[in-house]
Amino acid sequence: MNTPAKPAILVARRVFPETLARLREHFDVESNDTDGVWSQDELVQRLQGKVGALTTGSERIGPELLAACPVLKVVANIAVGYNNFDVPALTAQGVLATNTPDVLTETTADFGFALVLATARRVAESEHYLRAGLWKQWALDMFAGAEVHATTLGILGMGRIGQGVARRGAHGFGMKVIYHNRSRLDAATEAACGATYVSKAELLAQADHLVLVVPYSAASHHAIGAAELAQMKPTATLVNIARGGIVDDAALAQALKNRQIAAAGLDVFEGEPSVHPELLTVPNVVLTPHIASATLKTRRAMAELAADNVIAFLTQGRALTPINPEVLGAAAA
Ligand code: DGY
C-alpha cells in the first residue's frame, strides 16, 4: 500500500535542526539552510505547491505573492512583529498568519534595559576607546554618563514587552515610569508596571530615557523624527528595540551630532541590515544587529512556536497564536 504524500511546506530561513526534524515528521520540508534571504521571485518559486511556510521579518508576504501561491494555507512568522505580512490580503485569501508572542517578552525587555544602561553609561563608547589604546590615565569625569536609577523612564508602546521594560525600571531601578500607548492600560496593569499614562508630548518632554516598543505600521512610521527629537531633553537617551522606520534615522543622526539629545541605543534600523551611514560616524550611539530576542532559549522557543502553529493548523485546523483567527472560523465552516 502506498503511504499518502505528506503536505509540502517551506522553511524560508535557517532554523534549528530539532525544529526541522519535528516538521519533517509531519511534512515534506524544503528549507533554506543558509542565512541568505531569498529574493521575492525565488521565494515565490520555492513556495509553489507548498501549503505552509515558516518566515521571518525578512520575507514579505503580500497580495502579489499570495496570488502567485494559490495553495498556500498558513504562514508562521518566527517573530512577534509581523509588519512583513499584509494581514488583510492574507485574510482575504483565507491564509492563516501566526506570530510568536509571549515566548520572547522577558528576553526582549532584558535587552531593552541592556541598551538603556549601555547608552546612558556610555559602555560601547568607552570600550571602543579602551580597545583603541587611548586609555592612558583615569579622570574624574571620564565617560561620565547619565544616571539610570531614580530617573524618569518613558515608554512608547505599552504591550507585553513595554510592560516588561516598565517593571524592570519601576521595581529594579526605582524609576518613575511614564508611558504613552494607543489605548491606556487598566488600573491593575498600570499598578503592576508602576507606570503612569501621559500624552506623547508629555512623554517626550519628561523622559530621561525613552524606550520605543511600538509595533511598526503606517501610523508609527517616523513616530520619532526631527520634531519629536526637538521636544526631548538635551540630556535624554533614546532606545529603539521595536522596528526600523519608527525612528527617522537621518533625523536621529543629526540630533545626536548636534547633541540635541545625549545618546541613543538602536537594535533596529530603517532598511536593515543597512545602517544609515551617519549613525556609524557618531560616537554617542550604541548599535546592535536586531538581537533583542536573541538568547538561544528564546530563539528556540520562537522557532518551535512557529512550527507548532503550522503543525496544529495543518493537522488539526487550529493555531496557538493566530494573527487573523477569523481564518480559522472560515476554514472550519
Ligand atoms: C520580533 O520577534 O519581532 C523580533 O524583532 C525578531 O524579528
Q: Which domains does the chain have, with CATH numbers?
A: 8-102+296-332 (3.40.50.720), 105-287 (3.40.50.720)
Going by the DSSP 8-state scheme, the letter that residue 169 receives in this structure is: I
For residue 210, CA distances in Å to 245, 261, 272, 305 come to 16, 11, 22, 31
Active site residue 243: yes
Candidates 30, 106, 272, 278; catalytic one: 272
Ligand 1 centroid vs 243 CA: distance in angstroms? Answer: 8
Give pLDDT, residue 2. 74
Q: Is the peptide bond before 273 cis (omega within 30 degrees of 0)?
A: yes
Give pLDDT, residue 4. 77
Closest CA to 302 of 55, 28, 91, 12: 55
Q: What is the distance, to the nearest Å, from the Cα of residue 2 to the centroid of all Cα atoms in its chain?
A: 45
Rounded to an integer, what distance in angstroms lies between the CA atom of residue 32 and that of residue 11?
6
Contact at 8 Å (CB) between 282 and 88? no
Give pLDDT, residue 330. 79
Rounded to an integer, what distance in angstroms lies between the CA atom of residue 143 and that of residue 332?
61
For residue 43, CA distances in Å to 18, 106, 170, 215 come to 23, 32, 45, 25
Give pLDDT, residue 106. 98
- Ranges under pLDDT 50 in the chain: none
Rounded to an integer, what distance in angstroms lies between the CA atom of residue 149 and that of residue 136?
30
Q: Per-residue DSSP letters for 63-75?
A: HHHHHH-TT--EE
Active site residue 272: yes
Give pLDDT, residue 333. 65
Candidates 13, 122, 209, 243; catalytic one: 243
For residue 203, CA distances in Å to 14, 109, 206, 229, 295 come to 40, 19, 5, 12, 31
User: Would the CB of 213 count as within 6 Å of ligand 1?
Assistant: no
User: Would residue 290 be called left, alpha or beta, if left means φ above 0 and alpha means ψ between -120 and 50 degrees?
Assistant: left
Answering whether pTM is above 0.85, one says yes
Ligand 1 centroid vs 80 CA: distance in angstroms? Answer: 5
